[in-house]
Amino acid sequence: MSIISLIIFFFFFYTHSLATSNNAQQNFIQCLITSPELTTPITGAIYTPVNASFPTVLQDYIRNLRFNESTTPKPALIVTALDLSHVKASIICAKKHNLLMKTRSGGHDYEGLSYVSDRSPFFILDLFNLRSINVSIEDETAWVQTGATLGELYYKIAEKSNTHAFPAGVCPTVGVGGHISGAGYGNMMRKYGLTVDNVIDAEIVNVDGKLLNRESMGEDLFWAITGGGGVSFGVVISYKVTLVRVPASVTVFQVRKTSEQNVTDVAYRWLQVANKLDNNLFIRMVFDVVNNTNGEKTIRASFPSLFLGNTTTLLNIMDQSFPELGLQRTDCQEMNWTQSVLWYYNFPPGSPDSTLLSRVPRSLVHLKRKSDYVKKPISKQGLSSIFKKMVELQRVVLTFNPYGGRMAEISEFAKPFPHRAGNIAKIQYALDWNENGVEAANRYINLTRVLYEHMTPFVSKLPREAFLNYRDLDIGVNHNGKNSFVEGTVYGVKYFKEANFKRLVKVKTIVDPDNFFRNEQSIPTLPSFRK
């Protein structure tokens, strides 16, 4: 079928399916198909509700079932960009015809902001086809497109070296785009800092449809998209990252303690030392509620760990710095770094590295996440209070991620992410459920809010800080109207603190003055009277 025939075929369906829609949508589609930016046809990359594949394309990268309900607002269309020209055309045409664009890479954003909007109509620019990865062990760098997953990046590195890695998250199906642009972190952050601390270049398509790299975009914009959220400033196509060196064999362990095993004392000690341990050692602390031997609800603390070294060295460090945990040689396993990622994410022992290539999550659930920062050790009395509240609520899980090491050495102004020195740990609040419906969602989400409120005395204040990659609409929503700057400031200072937020707003105002790239928690522009 010729291109002209395809266009006629395409419009035959769309004139019917969009009969009740505004002309802007139809004009947008025509603009896409006829865009002079195109180097390859775009018709095969456009899906609307009349396409049989539309539900599959939409749902394939929905990672939070809260946003896969029948009542969830759906996009007018999805563009699954096949190349750079499709991205350029999408931006130019959406801007011309005033259509809201949502950009999606892996779909793991906790509030669904990359594929849901209360404003209608909107469309999704989905980048999952843009996933090339070029690894250079000689230069110890890699170019990775934002539609790739972390698992794919790790696998490509491992193909060429078992002593190189990249400091990012342990969930293999997370998209590179959102992870890096929102700062990113993983089990090696105490050794090598955040994911964005290891990014040295990027390619972004700006609001005018122009492709820029670090040199042509300038240092301010490069700074903004390495931790400030790329979707506020353009469409990031790829990042150039620096690989880090790891031993051919690393050590992992998982130790668990319950209330009957002095969990309060062990947790208290963790808060004293976790951010002061050897930089090669990362020990998480995870609290959940389980049944004890008598069938009663009790607190369990889990301590999963990665050590960039061997078991003997690890045991020496633990004996000196954290003997309260009671780590034994039998608790430890040595393996290569990619296997440690699979181990940490609870894949079965012996899973091949190719497991990292799967884009299908191990499970799909409804979920809610929140975050906090701990700057002072919590007292034993405080921990007891937290445990009591958790047992009362039963379902919420608290994960403490230790800071210190390299994290404390980098300036809070080096990247938009400001949570550096002075932090013991970041907390994630997590609750998963399987029931559908708004009523169930509200009930479970409220449990996280109750615990979050209870934690107020133990966490950062003025502002109460939060982590951008743990998106949380509870801390502020932007309606992108006349009060956009004021609304944006509410959550902006929590994610970035005041100085970094002001710099992000300044960059945004320069590169996207009309606020084309926007969502419910995007960076606002300055009010018109201050521009």
* Residues labelled as active-site residues: 470
DSSP 108-148: --TT-TTT--SSSSEEEEE-TT---EEEETTTTEEEEETTS
CA-based radius of gyration for the chain: 24
Angle at 430 between CA 491 and CA 340, to 5 degrees: 110
* Separation of first and last alpha carbons in the chain: 51
SS3 511: helix
Task: Tell me the two tokens of residue 410.
Answer: 């980098």
How many other C-beta atoms are found inside a 10 Å radius of the C-beta of residue 376?
Answer: 12
User: 269-284 burial, b if ≥16 CB within 10 A, otherwise e?
Assistant: bbbebbbebbbbbbbb
Phi, psi of 257 (to 5 degrees): -130, 145
Instruction: Give the SS3 label for residue 449.
Output: helix
In the numeric block, the tokens 């079928």 are attached to 1
Burial class (CB in 10 A: 0-12, 13-18, 19+), 404: buried
> Containing H/E element for 252?
strand 250-258
CA dihedral 442, 443, 445, 449 (to 10 degrees): 120
Residue at token pair 């405080």: 382
Nearest CA to 196 among 420, 355, 371? Answer: 420
Residue 107's alpha-carbon distances to 119, 346, 524, in angstroms, are: 19, 21, 23
Report which secondary-structure segment, H or E, holds 390: helix 380-393
User: How far apart are the C-alpha atoms of 149 and 436, rounded to whole Å?
Assistant: 28
Contact, 290 vs 258, CB < 8 A? yes
- Alpha-carbon span 405 to 394, nearest angstrom: 33
User: Which residue, among 493, 383, 374, 476, has the nearest Cα to 428 in the 3D structure?
Assistant: 374
Q: Please state the length of the chain.
A: 531
How many whole angstroms separate alpha carbon 239 and alpha carbon 242? 10
Whole-Å CA distances, 381 to 259, 264, 321: 14, 9, 23
Look at strands 250-258 and 297-307 and give their pairing: antiparallel
**Using CA atoms, how far apart are residues 44 and 35, in angstroms rounded to an integer?**
15
